[in-house]
Structure 1
Amino acid sequence: MGILSGKTGVVFGVANKRSIAWAIAQAWKEAGANLAFTYQGERLKDNVSQLAETFGDDTLITECDVTQDDHIDRVFNEVGDKFGGKLDLMLHAVAFAPKEALEGTFVATTREAFRVAHDVSAYSLVALTRAAAPLMTEGGSIVAMSYYGAEKVIPHYNVMGVAKAALEASTRYLASDLGEQKIRVNCISAGPVNTLAARGIAGFSSMLKHYEAHAPLKRNVLPEELGATGTFLASDGAAAITGQVLYVDCGYQVMGM
């Protein structure tokens, strides 16, 4: 039996087979979890459906725009019906900022770009957690994805770094609020991975080379390594860990220069 056998979970943020969310979902499935998936808009429906259906023809796959509360309510009603009113795991791997906000300087960020980035990338964790918590009747684990740009300046990451900082702070507050219900909330701060979202950041290929040159392990993190970390955080082995940001970046975060 896998370490997540008997657990149920819902995954937000799969876009394609290179998504970090998909790597973690695969690891959760291999560990025994029964999962549901959401997709953002018709453009991603086919991609997500093709991947999720490899987990079984009866896998729940449903649309969710995380900026719409009615979508969130519907999704968790469907998840509750699917899993008999019980949920153990949630993965939040959702982030977005307008492309023009991920180029040039942070000071040029528009009010609308700032609002959108924070609504999609940070507030959505609060909204999804609020909807998930009533189903986590026996406790649970919520895992969110962050990046080092939340605490240090990364060229062109701009407003997304500020939104990720809000996400990490939200993780701590949610962990405090939900601890008595045995619901744990943590972040994985991943090194750069060649995903659809990451390719929208100007200079991303240079970022990969920089990490490889300067991280103590002299390489970039692999998606399956993030899957393994996500599985640990979802498991009883992490039962005493909540409100934390775990760096999975081949050691880059510890370097001063």
Structure 2
Amino acid sequence: MGMLEGKNILVTGVLTEGSIAFHVARLCQEQGATVVLSGVGRSLKITQAMGRRLPVEAQVVELDVTNEEHVAALADRVREHVPHLDGVVHSIGFAPQSVMGGNFMSGEWPDVSTAVHISAYSLKALAAATAPLLTEGGSIVGLTFDGRYAWPVYDWMGVAKAAFEAVSRYVARDLGVKGIRCNVVSAGPIKTTAAKHIPGFDQMESIWSDRAPLGWDSSDPEPAAKAVTALLSDWFPATTGEMVHVDGGVHAMGQ
């Protein structure tokens, strides 16, 4: 019996087989869960195609986290496929290139607000929309890139991730009374679709394995996916508001 046997999990952000979210969805199924995916706009068909590549074809609901009607309708859309949820994975992030790649001081509010809305506020929106579906003991897990530091080239996306991590703690506080946990996994640099859109990403990725005590393979999303899957399970019943690092140990090292 798998650690997620009989559970229903909503996974957002599946766009390629190389994404952390895709591997989370796969591992969840392998551990016994029923998985529902969400997709958005022009990439919806891509998510549907990825759903067919999973061990068991996953149903897809449309969700644009910046669209209030989509958010309000999410629970009903999910209920078309599963009666309730036991877990939700937030793997949503975007910032215009105008506010990354060394453009911190020149970043303007309209683009910054887009980054914060999609990459941080969306966790609150997703948590509020799915809370009525989540059973006691349910788990919300998000993906981040340690927002405690000012990383090269990450700029306003780093600020958005710091906000995202703060949002996760407040969600943990406010949903804890319902028995719902909220944690984030801070992965080291992975060559995902999102990473490819970060100008100068290779500056961070190229030195990571040298600094990681355990080494680091930026082409392997499975270690981070395993951590997310474990946090979705019942094996962390008293852990909430936490950031779990899956980065080869870089977070613990000095410069």
User: TM-score category by the smaller chain?
Assistant: over 0.9
- Unmatched runs of 5 consecutive residues or more in structure 1: none
TM-score normalised to the size of structure 1? 0.94
SS in 2 for 1:170: helix
SS in 1 for 2:226: helix
SS in 1 for 2:105: helix
Which residue number corresponds to residue 16 of structure 2? 16
Distance in 2, matches of 1:12 and 1:57, equals 17
AA of the residue aligned to 1:82: H
CA shift, 1:26, in A, is 1.0
Distance in 2, matches of 1:9 and 1:233, equals 12
SS in 2 for 1:82: coil
CA shift, 1:184, in A, is 0.3
Distance in 2, matches of 1:137 and 1:212, equals 39
Q: Whose helix proportion is higher, 1 or 2?
A: 1
Which residue number corresponds to residue 78 of structure 1? 77
Cα pair 2:140 2:180 within 8 Å, conserved: yes
Distance in 2, matches of 1:41 and 1:144, equals 21
Cα pair 1:185 1:242 within 8 Å, conserved: yes
Ranges of 4+ aligned residues in structure 1 off by more than 6 Å: none
Alignment of 1:67-216 (within 5 A): 67-84=66-83, 86-148=84-146, 150-216=147-213
Could you tell me the percent identity over the aligned residues? 38
Cα pair 2:29 2:55 within 8 Å, conserved: no
Cα pair 1:208 1:220 within 8 Å, conserved: no
* Alpha-carbon RMSD: 1.5
Distance in 2, matches of 1:92 and 1:60, equals 17
SS in 2 for 1:138: strand
CA shift, 1:97, in A, is 0.4
C-alpha distance after superposition, 1:33-63 (max 9, x if no partner): 1011111212x22321112123478632122
Distance in 2, matches of 1:98 and 1:119, equals 12
AA of the residue aligned to 1:229: A
Cα pair 1:5 1:33 within 8 Å, conserved: yes
C-alpha distance after superposition, 1:111-156 (max 9, x if no partner): 11110001000001001100111111333100001002x1111111
CA shift, 1:14, in A, is 1.1
Match of 2:250 among 224, 249, 252: 252
SS in 1 for 2:140: strand
Distance in 2, matches of 1:57 and 1:210, equals 37
AA of the residue aligned to 2:189: P
